[in-house]
Amino acid sequence: MSDMTPSGASIPDTTRNIPDRLQSPALKAFKSWETLLLAVAIAIFITNSFLSPYFLNAWNLSDATFNFTEKAMIAFAMALLIIAGEIDLSVASIIALASTAMGYALQFDVGTWGLVVIGLATGLACGAFNGLLVTGLGLPSIVVTIGTMSLFRGISYIVLGDQGFRGYPSDFSFFGQGYVYWVISFEFVLFAGLALVYYVLLHRTNFGRAVYAIGNNPTGALFSGIKVARVKFILFLLTGLMAGVAAVCLTSRLGSTRPTIALGWELEVVTMVVLGGVNILGGSGSIPGVVIAAFVMGLVTFGLGLLNVPGIVMSIFIGCLLIGVIALPRLWAMWRP
């Protein structure tokens, strides 16, 4: 074969030094999706402060965070799940079921911490159910969780009918209505803490690396000795648990449980994740992106609310924002020579 490509057959015996990185992490971060999204967030913040005199008020801004904190908690876990190539559309129904379970437990006088445990345990159980169907039976997660979306909320409807649970203990209200210091709410602190936890989990641990590997190429990950099914199962558990946490916060904030609680949240959570730069097909994305996306959606909803824009227009605006922010880099690349 030496007669074919004589030049390719010779190997220089000098070992070359391969650098770690081509560009510094700082430069890479500057050119990232998250930076663009941060610029959008700042632009919306500035616009809002000009449009409404009530915007730059500490208490108003604090109230605004409630628009996204509960959804964002779920979005962190959902981001990992989507990066791994799966999805959970039943999260809003898990909130309904967990909230119903807590309301049902009121008659047994389990105390505030008993309620919290029941809410979280229900979330975990739902997540385990989803995870078993997906990893145990090999079913596609989008189908499984569309099914459990109806199932979980259906159980709430059977238990509650057109009734609701009320009369949560007074100290239970702290999770959704309490403040840790001045305008800093308990929910916001929890949101920030969970953001840090998920940041470390995804970007700083072996587990997070496995999540990326699975999302990029599940077969390759399996052939590299990654326990693919186990990682996916844990992600479904985490997503269920986060829905349970959100259920505790939301139920506490509303002070009641109705079967329509958190209706349609699954789409807002997925929107937040995708807006945050997570590839809906899996393989890439980051927690900082999701955090910024949470702020963007919260600021937009709050700003439009101050301007008395009706809810339906808000959802139109969020939809346009999602498409716009995703199309922007494409258009930018096409327009540049």
Partner 1 sequence: MMQQLAPKADAAHEIPVLRLSDVTKTFPGVRALSGVSLELYPGQVTALIGENGAGKSTIVKVLTGIYRADEGRIEVDGTPVHFATADDATAAGITAIHQETVLFDELSVAENIFIGHAPRGRFGLIDKGAMNRRAAEILDRIDANLDPTTPLKDLGIANKHLVAIARALSVDARVVVMDEPTAALSQKEIEELYDLVDRLKAEGRAILFISHKFDEIFRIADRYAVFRDGEHVGAGLMADVTEGDLVQLMVGRAVDQIFPDRDHQAGDEVLRITGFAHPTEFDGIDLSLRAGEILGFYGLVGAGRSELMQAIFGITRPSAGTLTIDGETRTIRSPADAIANGIVYVPEDRGQQGAILGLPIFQNVTLPSLGQTSRSGFLKLAREFDLARGYTERLDLRAAALDQDVGNLSGGNQQKVVIAKWLATKPKVIILDEPTKGIDIGSKAAVHAFMAELAAEGLAVIMVSSEIPEILGMSDRVVVMREGLIAAELAGEDLTPETLVRHAAGIGEAP
Fill in the per-residue mask, 271 to 310: x = in contact with partner 1 (CB under 8 A), - = not in contact.
Answer: ------------xx--------------------------
Using CB under 8 A, which of 196, 204, 280, 324 touches partner 1?
204
Question: From the CA atom positions of the chain, what is the Rg in Å?
Answer: 23
Q: How far is the CB of 217 from partner 1 (least distance, A)?
A: 5
Give 71 or 232: the residue with its C-beta nearer to partner 1: 232
195 three-state secondary structure: helix
Cβ contact 141:90 at 8 Å: no
Q: How far is the CB of 36 from partner 1 (least distance, A)?
A: 21
Give all strands (DSSP E) within 106-183, no chain letters: 179-181
Give 86 or 268: the residue with its C-beta nearer to partner 1: 86
Using CB under 8 A, which of 161, 225, 312, 333 touches partner 1?
225
203 three-state secondary structure: helix
User: Counting Cβ atoms within 10 Å, is residue 79 exposed (0-12), middle (13-18) or buried (19+)?
Assistant: buried
260 is a contact residue toward partner 1 (CB under 8 A):
no
Using CB under 8 A, which of 60, 217, 260, 315 touches partner 1?
217
Stretch that binds partner 1, among 119-127, 205-213, 238-246, 306-314 (CB under 8 A): 205-213
165 DSSP 8-state letter? B
Q: How far is the CB of 254 from partner 1 (least distance, A)?
A: 38
Using CB under 8 A, which of 114, 117, 132, 209 touches partner 1?
209
Using CB under 8 A, which of 119, 127, 208, 285 touches partner 1?
208
Q: How far is the CB of 107 from partner 1 (least distance, A)?
A: 43
224 is a contact residue toward partner 1 (CB under 8 A):
yes
220 is a contact residue toward partner 1 (CB under 8 A):
yes
Nearest to 34 by CA among 95, 96, 79: 79
Using CB under 8 A, which of 54, 174, 223, 332 touches partner 1?
223
Give 9 or 312: the residue with its C-beta nearer to partner 1: 9
Give all strands (DSSP E) within 44-166, no chain letters: none
Nearest to 113 by CA among 172, 195, 35: 172
Cβ contact 277:286 at 8 Å: yes
Nearest to 177 by CA among 188, 193, 166: 188
Q: Give how far the C-alpha of residue 78 lies from the chain's centroid of Cα atoms, to the nearest Å.
A: 4
Give 72 or 213: the residue with its C-beta nearer to partner 1: 213
Long-range contacts of 50-53 (CB under 8 A, 24+ apart): 51/303, 51/306, 51/307, 52/303, 52/306, 52/307
Contacts of partner 1 in 20-79 (CB under 8 A) = 20-22
Distance CA 241, CA 256 (A): 20
For helices 69-83 and 265-275, the axis angle rounded to 10 degrees is 60
Q: How far is the CB of 289 from partner 1 (least distance, A)?
A: 17
Cβ contact 94:251 at 8 Å: no
Fill in the per-residue mask, 4 to 23: x = in contact with partner 1 (CB under 8 A), - = not in contact.
Answer: xx--xxxx---xxxxxxxx-
Q: How far is the CB of 226 from partner 1 (least distance, A)?
A: 7
Give 135 or 301: the residue with its C-beta nearer to partner 1: 135
Which residues contact partner 1 (rule: CB under 8 A)?
1-5, 8-11, 15-22, 200, 204-210, 212-213, 216-217, 219-227, 283-284
